[in-house]
Structure 1
Amino acid sequence: MHVLVTRPEPQATRTAELLAERGHRTHAAPLAVIEPLEAELPAAEAVDAVLLTSANAVPALQAYLHLPVYTVGDATAAAARAAGAGQVVSADGDWVRLAALLRGPAGPPAGSRLLHLSGTVIAGDLAGAVRAAGFACDRRTVYTIRPATTLPPELLRLLAVGTLDAALFFSPLHARIWCRLVAKATMEAELAGIRAVCLSEAVAQPLRELGWRSVEVAAAPTLPALIDCLEGPG
C-alpha cells in the first residue's frame, strides 16, 4: 500500500519507517512544522507532577525528569522515557482519558500541583478538567505549530498520477490545514481513490467535506489502532 504520512517531523519519519517495516510504501509530507517557544517555567520545587499531551513538549521536560510524568499516550510516554524521565504513566488514549486517569487511583495524590506542558493549540481543556477534580494545574505553552502554506511539488505529482492508496491524519489541526491546501491547489478530484485514515472522529470531521474514497476512524486514538485501521478492509 502507498501511504501518505502528514504529521510533523520527527514523528513523520518514525511513522514512515514503521510502515515500511510492515511492507508499505510511504511518502512523508508534513503539514506543519513544530517550533519550540521560550517559556517561563516554574521551579521544579513548585511542581508535583507533569502532564504531557504531545511528544512535541518533551524537550521542555528537562528540569522535571525526576518527577512523575503523565502522558496522553504511549508514544509520548516513550519519548519522555527516552529523554530520561523515570516515572511515566500513559493514559493510552486522548486528553479525556488522561483526565480520567489523573482522577483515578493511578493518578497523583489529591491536591497535587500539576504542570501541563503544551502547544499553543490544544485538543481540549485538560487543565480545567483536572482543576475541577481538586488539583492545582498550571498550563505553560512550550511549542507552536507553523502550518504549511502549500502542498509540496512531489505530493502534488503523486496526487495527479493517482498512486496513493491512503493518507494518515493525526490531529484536527492537520486535517484543517489539508483541506485548505487541497482547495488552494484545486486537487479535490484527485482524492477519489484515496482512503483518509484518521486518529479520531474529531480529526475525521473536517475531512468528510472532501471526496475521498472513504474516511475511516481508528478504534482508539493510538498509532497501533490507526495502523490496524489502515490495514483493515477499507
Structure 2
Amino acid sequence: MKVLVTRAEPGAGRTADALRERGLTPVIAPMLTIRPSTDIALDLSGVQALAFTSANGVRAWANARSERALPALCVGDATAAAAREAGFENTLSAGGDVGDLIQMISKRMNKAAGRIVHVRGSHVTGDLAGSLRAAGFAAEEAAAYEAVSADRLPDAAREALERKQLSLVLFHSSRAAAAFTALVDDADLTGRLSYLIAVTISGQAAESLIRSDWLAVKIADTPDEAALLDRVGAARLDP
C-alpha cells in the first residue's frame, strides 16, 4: 500500500520512516517548503516565555536566535521534543491543539510576569496572541518562517496519481491540503482522487479538501502525528 506524504521537510522524512515501520510504502511529495527567517528581530526584555505551535517555529527560532533560557510553551509533544532538541531546558507541552495551549498557559503562567511571544510562521490559523491578550496576558507575535506553497504538483505525486498507485494521502496542515487540492486541479487529476482515502490531522485540514471528491476523508482523533498514523491504520481496515 502506497501512502502520499504531503508534509514539508524535515517532517516528511520522519513520517515516511514511521509508515515504513508499519509496512507501508511512503511517497514523499511536500506541498510546502519551510523557509526560516535569518533574522528574528525581537527584544526579549520583559518576555517571560516563548510559545510554539509547531516544530517548524522551534527550528526557525534555533536557526536565527541563540537564546534558550526562556520557557518554551509548546502546543504538543512533538513540538516540545523539537524544543528540547534545540536546547530549551524548560519545556511544557499542552498535548493537544491551540485551545489546549491557551488553557495550559492560563493555568501555568503568571499574567504579571511579562510578555508571552508566539513564535510562528507568516501564515497561521487562529490568533494565539489575541486569545492570550483576551485572557489578560501581555502577548505578541514573531514571524520566524514562511511556508511557501509549491507552484506545481511534485513529480512523485503526479506519477503516483496518474498510475493509480496510491491508496492514502496524508495531510498535516490546512495549507498543505489546500495546496494539494489546487495543484491536483491544475494538473487535471482531480478525478483520480475518487479511489483514494484522505487522512487529515484536523477538521480544519479536512475542510480544505472540500472541492475534491475522495473515496473517504478520515480525521485524526487528536491533532498530532501519533493519532494521524493510528487513523491510517484504521483506514486500511475500514475505508
Contact 1:191 1:211 in 2 (8 A): yes
Offset of residue 110 of structure 1: 2.3
Query: Which position in structure 2 is the counterpart of 1:133?
Result: 135
Distance 2:217 2:210 in 1: 7
Where 1:117 maps in the other structure, the secondary structure is strand
Offset of residue 65 of structure 1: 1.3
Provide, for residues 35-84 of structure 1, a one-character-per-residue CA deviation record: whole Å limited to 9, x for no partner: 112221123x4211110011111131444311211111111111000011
Where 2:195 maps in the other structure, the secondary structure is coil
Aligned-residue RMSD, C-alpha: 1.2
Contact 2:28 2:156 in 1 (8 A): no
Matched, 1:150 2:152: yes
Provide, for residues 129-183 of structure 1, a one-character-per-residue CA deviation record: whole Å limited to 9, x for no partner: 1111111112010101111011122321110111111010011111111111011
Instruction: Give the counterpart letter for 2:6 in structure 1.
Output: T
Give 1:17-96 correspondences, 5 Å limit: 17-37=17-37, 38-43=39-44, 45-58=45-58, 59-61=60-62, 62-96=65-99
TM-score when normalising by structure 2: 0.93
Provide, for residues 100-146 of structure 1, a one-character-per-residue CA deviation record: whole Å limited to 9, x for no partner: 11112xx2112232111100111110001111111111201010111
Offset of residue 231 of structure 1: 0.5
Instruction: Give the counterpart letter for 2:69 in structure 1.
Output: H
Query: Which position in structure 2 is the counterpart of 1:108?
Result: 109
Distance 2:140 2:156 in 1: 42
Instruction: Give the counterpart letter for 2:47 in structure 1.
Output: V
Query: Which position in structure 1 is the counterpart of 2:194?
Result: 192
Query: Which position in structure 2 is the counterpart of 1:5?
Result: 5
Query: Which position in structure 2 is the counterpart of 1:182?
Result: 184
Offset of residue 23 of structure 1: 1.3
Q: What is the identity percentage for the equivalent residue pairs of Structure 1 and Structure 2?
A: 38
Where 2:208 maps in the other structure, the secondary structure is helix
Distance 1:185 1:32 in 2: 17
Distance 2:40 2:111 in 1: 27
Distance 1:69 1:215 in 2: 34
Contact 1:167 1:195 in 2 (8 A): yes
Contact 1:52 1:116 in 2 (8 A): yes
Distance 1:154 1:228 in 2: 24
Where 1:76 maps in the other structure, the secondary structure is helix
Divergent runs of 4+, >3 A: 61-64
Distance 1:50 1:6 in 2: 28
Contact 1:95 1:123 in 2 (8 A): no
Distance 1:179 1:158 in 2: 15
The unaligned stretches of length 5 or more in structure 2 are none
Instruction: Give the counterpart letter for 2:3 in structure 1.
Output: V
Distance 1:192 1:145 in 2: 28
Contact 2:27 2:156 in 1 (8 A): no
Where 1:192 maps in the other structure, the secondary structure is helix
Where 2:129 maps in the other structure, the secondary structure is helix
2:219 to 217, 220, 224: 217
Instruction: Give the counterpart letter for 1:49 in structure 2.
Output: A
